[in-house]
Amino acid sequence: MTDEIPEIDSAFGSGVPIRGNDIDTDQIIPARFMKVVTFDGLGEFAFFDQRYDENDEPKDHPLNEPQFQDAAIMVVNANFGCGSSREHAPQALMRWGIDAIIGESFAEIFAGNCLALGIPTVTADHDTITELQDWVDEHPDADIDVDVENETVTYGEKTVDVTVDDAQRKALTEGVWDTTALMKSNADAVAEKAASLPYVDD
């Protein structure tokens, strides 16, 4: 554990429901917006083609609705984040304001890319997710508490069990999820190890 990487044992905030199975990374962030040099402005383009028509007029989509503009917890269905392995997808969601995602299931690479940003991806069964999505629609300003450490989600007067991948839970709660920061904070040890390897040139 290092001082540079926060331990993430929970996430808290209001929710936004994104319904539908097999929502792929091209829907989350269309390829034409991936030409940016940095990820900074990607948030505004999250779900762009689902949110706007060809004339850039808003369509019916939760991310366009005023009651969800401050949401921090996204509630999704099955196989979310499938398709290409673009890291821009979780970057766009994070920069839109999402701190955690609760869903039925996630594409493995997408979940890994979320972990690299410190975004928990926790899972529950279909009925639990549907009930939570409906509750969020009815209570858009109410908070959801995602407890990564204890694998629970609390909303309203209800607490439900969820599943957090063991490796993800360990990385988040022990503050070892940001591998780049870990390498930087242990640069001397990395250099010393590299110097001791016979197949690494100076």
pLDDT of res. 86: 82
pLDDT of res. 1: 41
Residue 157 lies in a domain: no
Question: Same domain, yes or no, for 129 and 47?
Answer: yes
Residue 52 lies in a domain: yes
pLDDT of res. 191: 53
pLDDT of res. 41: 72
CA atoms within 13 A on the CB side of 48: 17
Alpha-carbon span 66 to 34, nearest angstrom: 26
Which of 75, 68, 111 is closest to 90 using CA atoms? Answer: 111
Question: Same domain, yes or no, for 33 and 115?
Answer: yes
Question: Same domain, yes or no, for 110 and 198?
Answer: no
The residue segments making up the domain with residue 119 are 10-146
Taking residue 148's Cβ as centre, other Cβ atoms within 10 Å add up to 20
- What's the pTM value of the predicted model, to 2 decimals? 0.84
Residue 63 lies in a domain: yes
Alpha-carbon span 1 to 54, nearest angstrom: 48
- Domain final residue, candidates 128, 146, 164: 146
pLDDT of res. 31: 84
Alpha-carbon span 62 to 93, nearest angstrom: 13
Question: Same domain, yes or no, for 118 and 190?
Answer: no
Read off the pLDDT of each residue in 20-43 and give the average, rounded to a whole number: 82
Read off the pLDDT of each residue in 163-176 and give the average, rounded to a whole number: 93
